Structure 1
Amino acid sequence: MEEREAHYSLLRRRGSSEEKDTSGRPKVAYSTTISTPVLIHLCILLLYCTVTFTIIKIHSSAPRSLPVLPNAINGLTTLYDTRVYNLLNHSKYVGPPSDQSIDESWIELLDPMYIRVQRSELERNGRTSVSLGRNGKEPESFLAWLGVFHELHCVKLLRQWKYKSHYFPNITANEADNLESHTDHCLDRIRAAFMCHPDTSSLVTFNWSNNQQPVVNGTKTLHSCINWKELIESTRTRAVSPQELAILKNPLSEIGDNN
Structure 2
Amino acid sequence: MHFCEREETTAQRNVDDRADKPQSDMGSDREAKLNSRTGRASSDDNDGDTYNEASIGLISEQPRNSSHKELCSKTLLIILLIISNAVWIAVISRTWYGTRDLLETCGSNKYPADFVSKEPVPLKLKTTNFDDVLRYNTTSQQVYREMDPSLPQYFGTPSPAIDEAWEKLLHYQYPAVSDEEIASNAALSFSSTDTHPVTGKYYGAIDVFHNLHCLNMVRKHIDKDYNGGDHMKKKKRHGKGMDMESSFDAAAMDHLYHCMNHIRQSLQCRPDLSPAAMHVFQDTDGSQFFLGNAKSHSCYDWQSIMDWAAARESTLGYTQPVD
Q: TM-score if structure 1 supplies the norm length?
A: 0.58
Distance 1:73 1:118 in 2: 11
Is 2:304 the partner of 1:230? Answer: yes
User: In the TM superposition, what is the alpha-carbon distance from 1:104 to its structure 2 partner?
Assistant: 0.8
Name the residue aligned to 2:292.
217
Is 2:251 the partner of 1:178? Answer: yes
Which has the bigger relative contact order, CA under 8 A and spacing at least 6? 1
Distance 1:134 1:176 in 2: 31
Which structure has more helix as a fraction of its residues? 2
1:109 aligned residue (152, 169, 189): 169
Name the residue aligned to 1:204.
276
Distance 2:226 2:279 in 1: 37
Q: Which runs of 5+ in 2 are unaligned?
A: 1-109, 135-145, 234-244
Is 2:187 the partner of 1:126? Answer: yes
| Structure of greater Rg | 2
Name the residue aligned to 1:146.
206
Distance 2:113 2:123 in 1: 11
2:128 aligned residue (59, 63, 83): 83
Name the residue aligned to 1:46.
none
Question: Is contact 2:121-2:305 (8 Å) kept?
Answer: yes
Name the residue aligned to 2:218.
158
User: In the TM superposition, what is the alpha-carbon distance from 1:133 to its structure 2 partner?
Assistant: 9.0
User: In the TM superposition, what is the alpha-carbon distance from 1:165 to its structure 2 partner?
Assistant: 2.3
Is 2:153 the partner of 1:92? Answer: yes
Name the residue aligned to 2:264.
191
Distance 1:174 1:226 in 2: 40
Q: Percent identity?
A: 22
Task: Give the number of aligned pairs.
Answer: 172
Q: Which runs of 5+ in 1 are unaligned?
A: 1-66, 247-259
Distance 2:275 2:289 in 1: 15
Matched letter for residue 115 of structure 2 = A
Q: TM-score if structure 2 supplies the norm length?
A: 0.47
Aligned to 1:235, what secondary structure does the other structure show? helix
